[in-house]
Amino acid sequence: MTNAQEPDRLWSLANRRGMPRRRFLQLLVAGGATAVLAACGADTSGDEDAPASEASPTGGWFKDTTPFITHADGKSLEARLNLQEGLVTPASHFFVRNNSASVDVDLESWRITVEGDAVADPRSLSFEDIQRLPGKTLVSYLECAGNHRAMFDRVQGRAAEGTQWGTGGVGNGEWTGVALRDVLDLAGIRDNAVSVLLVGLDRESPEEGFRRALPVEKAMHADTLLAYGLNGEPLARDHGFPLRAVIPGWVGASNIKWLGRIVVSSEKHWTRNNTTSYVLIGDAYPPEGEALGQPVTTQVIKSALALPWPAELGAGSHRLHGYAHSPGGRIDRVEWSDDSGRTWHAGVALARGAQYGWTRFEFDWEARPGGHAIMTRATDVTGATQPDSVPFNRKGYLFNQPVPHPVRVT
């Protein structure tokens, strides 16, 4: 192979691995072939065309972790909202929540199976088969069910189980793929279908593949997506390449990554992730079915400032901004308070995104020397607003009362 052919061969490998062209060029300039191959998960000590290993090559991640808060569980990269300005979150700054190391899937051998007692014609589909279906693009926020979990401790003084997410377990992306219902129609989904189980290829995760069940009505919704692209680029490895679910308004755990299997059943699926995990467990949540409490499905309305925690600012006037989102519809208004919620101020400028996207808000704040706590409160077009308090649940899901963001002014 000539030197002139080398970049083309490297790009062919990187493209098969789902790497964006821009990232490929950055790596090629910075570190040459070795950097590209390492990012692709290839073994640079031997045959450079050998298949990549199933696990990601460096610390469980393929992406640069510098912009993130890296949690001790080794499976969570929390975004720093203060590094974001626009409505769409760049893939490089999009948070990650895994249940194992990110998985490296070989596109050429990848298949997704559609099976179960409620389909008439079980299928095994290649990536090319998926791409032949009508394409669809939508903008939607995606949020971990445990985002703001740390606030149970910081605000209520009672720590919940699990990774102590602050406010950055959320992002807003432009997703491209196909409607899940088109895939189910290919397999001849039956009228008696009740439950659609999505199973990932992350075999190191609980149940040897992270999984979540959807009621058939949600699975057949026109905007329930099987995505292969994010922000106009192929889906990155850390975000579920080659195919993941995107279910607008539902908790991140339902948006299965590295999708490999779909099981359609005439009975409701009960798995770890709707019986003991991703379940609201506490005095306010009586058990439902086989679950220890109430299974978590949809998200809740939230808002957060795009500031470090805690923040430090100089005295004087500041234009602060943040993000608000709701599964019930677009944000209608955001208010702010710097006196523990005794006084709420309107006049917040809003930049609204798409139907399922988040809203960017900003307001002017006159900073006086000393310690402060700034709170924001969002209300959507249905009238739903952030509550004054949230009942405690053991696993710390769906915290959405206004957060007193600490700010030190010097």
pLDDT in tens, 53-76: 334 444 689 999 999 999 999 999
Instruction: Among 10-14, 141-145, 186-190, 291-295, name the one with the lowest average pLDDT.
Output: 10-14
pLDDT exceeds cutoff 80 at 29: no
- The continuous run of DSSP H or E covering 181 comes out as helix 180-186
Helices and strands (DSSP H and E) totals, the chain: 7, 23
Residue 42 has pLDDT above 50, yes or no: no
- Ranges of H-type helices in 41-173: 127-132, 150-154
Whole-number Cα distances in Å, 271 to 215, 230, 259, 263, 278: 14, 29, 17, 13, 10
- pLDDT over 90 at 343, yes or no: yes
What pLDDT digit, counting tens, does each position of 242-279 carry? 999 999 999 999 999 999 999 999 999 999 999 999 99
Note whether 155 and 67 are within 8 A (CB): no
- Domains, the chain: 1-52 (no CATH), 112-295 (3.90.420.10), 302-409 (2.60.40.650)
261 vs 264: CA distance, rounded Å: 10
Which pLDDT value is given to residue 21?
A: 66
At 43, is the pLDDT very low, low, confident or very high (cuts 50, 70, 90)?
A: very low
Print the SS3 string covering 189-226.
ECCCCCEEEEEECCCCCHHHCCEEEEEHHHHCCCCCEE
pTM of the full structure: 0.86
User: What is the structure's pLDDT at 40?
Assistant: 59
The mean predicted confidence, pLDDT, of the chain is 91
- Structure confidence at residue 49 (pLDDT): 31
How far is residue 368's CA from residue 362's CA, in Å, rounded to a whole number?
A: 19
Mean pLDDT of the 5-9 span: 62
pLDDT tens, residue by residue, 287-326: 999 999 999 999 999 999 999 999 999 999 999 999 999 9
Q: How far is CA 66 from the centre of its chain?
A: 18
The one-letter amino acid code at 162 reads G
Do the beta carbons of residue 228 and residue 235 sit within 8 Å? yes
Find the Cα–Cα–Cα–Cα dihedral 161, 162, 168, 174, rounded to 10°.
Answer: -120
Which residue in 214, 363, 377, 196 sits closest to 298, CA to CA?
Answer: 214
Residue partners of 255: CB distance under 8 A and separation at least 6: 142, 244, 245, 246, 247
Question: Where residue 379 falls among pLDDT bands split at 50, 70, 90?
Answer: very high
Phi, psi of 396 (to 5 degrees): 70, 35
Give the model's confidence band at 17: pLDDT under 50 very low, under 70 low, under 90 confident, else very high. low
Share of the chain above pLDDT 90, in %: 84
Q: Residue 34 pLDDT > 90, yes or no? A: no
Q: What is the pLDDT of residue 269?
A: 97
Beta bridge partners of 213: 197
Confidence at 10, pLDDT banded by 50, 70, 90: confident
Q: What is the pLDDT of residue 179?
A: 98
Residue 284 · residue 292 · CB < 8 Å: no
pLDDT reported for residue 347: 86
Question: How does DSSP assign 289-300, residue by residue?
Answer: TTSSSEE--B--
| pLDDT exceeds cutoff 80 at 189 | yes
Tell me the residue ranges of DSSP E strands in 99-157. Answer: 112-115, 123-125, 136-143
d(CA 240, CA 238): 6
**Residue 358 pLDDT more than 70?**
yes
pLDDT in tens, 93-126: 999 999 999 999 999 999 999 999 999 999 999 9
Helices 6-16 and 21-40 pack at an angle, to 10 degrees, of 80
